[in-house]
A = this chain, B = another copy of it.
């Protein structure tokens, strides 16, 4: 397909074209990369913005069910919803976090929804760029909400929070008063904590867990981007579809406040700056990943290990080889 046509169709909200565009930005081929850059440059000129909602939750908290129920509610209000996944582990597990679309059967049949399984990939830097570019394509395609989900393995919460306007932490009810399992650093990223499964036997446990996290959130340092009462914890039931409308109201009121108080633009500018610097660094370090560089690193490294070369001298040789190569 010509870029002109692809670009037009994406701007018209065509989901098949959007999917092709995302495949293009995910490609590792140099010619595809050039096309992807050209496509992104054209599309971002339009300046369309979606509400980017990051969602982190470990397996078992009911993330798919939440996204399906929450997404159906939004499409029911006439909003267009895209779902993307950041899954740093998919190389290892060999599969995609979203599997086929059967995990979200109803939502995947909605014409106002777009679900993109995460590609298999090699490292988080690449994941971040591809996801960032996929988000940009979804925004160009006129989606109102982009949900970016992650299972929260390793650094993926940080990646997702640096890609999102709002960051949600989805939790399951805990037994007793255990806050363990959620690291302080993750708590500090959250704009809202949603305790899911507030239904049936788990309802009172969910209420208690929510109260515990409300208390914990109050102990965190106040951030300038938070209005009174945020970050906050709420209970929801994705299965019974309880609390979803309230959660959405809170998200909207938070994002409205941030827009009106200048935090929205500052946050996006800071994120863009962050990704620019990350990308420059990882592109520089990628020069060590070529087959020639790897074999030279190995050759010099073995001389370092046996003491024939000092680490510094070997590093100087390596740098010269990179310049010459």
Spell out A's residues near B (CB within 8 Å).
37, 40-41, 44, 47, 129, 132-133, 136, 268-270, 272-273, 275-281, 283-285, 287-288, 297, 300-301, 304-307, 310-316, 318-319, 322
**In the complex, which of the residues B273, B278, B285 contacts A305, with contact meaning CB atoms closer than 8 Å?**
B273
Copies per assembly: 2
Q: Are A37 and B269 in contact (CB under 8 A)?
A: no
Contact of A301 among B276, B284, B287 (CB under 8 A): B276
Give the distance to chain B from A220, nearest Cβ to Cβ, in Å.
20
Q: How many whole Å from A274's CB to the nearest CB in chain B? A: 8
> Given the known A-B contacts A280-B319, A284-B288, are A311 and B272 also in contact in the complex, defined by CB atoms under 8 Å?
yes
Q: Across the interface, which residues of B come within 8 angstroms of A269, CB to CB? A: 304-307
When the two chains form their complex, are residues A310 and B273 in contact, meaning their CB atoms are under 8 A apart?
A: no
| Interface pair A310/B136, CB less than 8 Å apart | yes
State A300–B313 Cα separation when bound (angstroms): 34
A106 to B: closest C-beta gap in Å: 34
Contacts of A305 in B (CB 8 A): 269-270, 272-273
Give Cα A318 to B281, complex, Å.
10
Cα distance A314–B132 when bound, in Å?
14
